[in-house]
Amino acid sequence: MKHIAKKRFGQNFLTDQSVIASLIEAIAPKANDLMLEIGPGLGALTKPLLQRLNLLHVVEVDRDIIAWMQTEYAKPAYASHAIHIHNADALKFDFTSLGEDLRVTGNLPYNISTPILFHLLDNVAHITDMHFMLQKEVVERMVAAPSTPAYGRLSVMLQYRLQIDYLITVPPEAFEPAPKVESAFVRCVPHANLPFVAKNEALFAKVVLAAFGQRRKTLRNTLKGLLDDDGFSALNLNSQLRAENLSVGDFVAIANYLS
């Protein structure tokens, strides 16, 4: 199929076979796994996944690609491979509808990757692991440690729920069309037991959002109206620090104090 990549869907199709083999090895699909691929595109991951799985769910919003998939995967070569195509926006898809122990993978559209990650956090209780191709800069933010330039709200919110491992750097020429940035493949595994437990997770999210809302300002300013001097003292926190200097545990401690 000659499909013209659509900018509005953030389409860049992976074509490098050696990279694809490395990604499949990292995912390590087993026949009976409950797996869903976001944005299957022209089958770079879909086809090798189908060879190993009894059933693969895919979520795709592009109707042209869906029409191609319905023809492609009806061919005799795929007669023994079951694929369930969901014509849906991944940002609105109910991942819990597929059942428990879901494995999620995909080459996420870079223009909406962060909202998809936050949507998946809302469904994380049903998810076993996630493997994604993302813009390298986003993966660096996901795994960033406190007091580093890449550390921010995304780092804290994802690390609260997930163990995140940066796996592979992927160059632009591995895609068609080539994106203007490097990419990276990442593994995310929900914590079996949260390292730090927020009593009120909505309040925890509110504190993190406020703290990073103006990241060059001190916590005294960004958390004004939430945490006063007595609170900083009780928590043994320096109010002149910035959000980027706090660990996930520090943010949980603030939220738990406020709750």
Least confident range from 11-15, 112-116, 170-174: namely: 11-15
Question: Residue 153: is its pLDDT beyond 80?
Answer: yes
Residue-wise pLDDT for 194-214, tens only, equals 999 999 999 999 999 999 999
pTM of the model: 0.91
**45-72, pLDDT tens digit by residue?**
999 999 999 999 999 998 989 999 999 9
Burial class (CB in 10 A: 0-12, 13-18, 19+), 239: middle
**What single DSSP character describes residue 179?**
P
Domain ranges of the chain: 7-190, 201-258
pLDDT tens figures, 154-187:
999 999 999 999 999 999 999 988 888 999 999 9
Across 62-182, the runs of DSSP E, i.e. the strands, are 82-87, 102-107, 127-135, 162-170, 175-176
CATH architecture assigned to 201-258: Orthogonal Bundle (1.10)
The CATH superfamily of 7-190 is: Vaccinia Virus protein VP39 (3.40.50.150)
In the predicted model, what is the mean pLDDT of the chain?
93
> What phi and psi, each to the nearest 5 degrees, are found at residue 151?
-70, 130
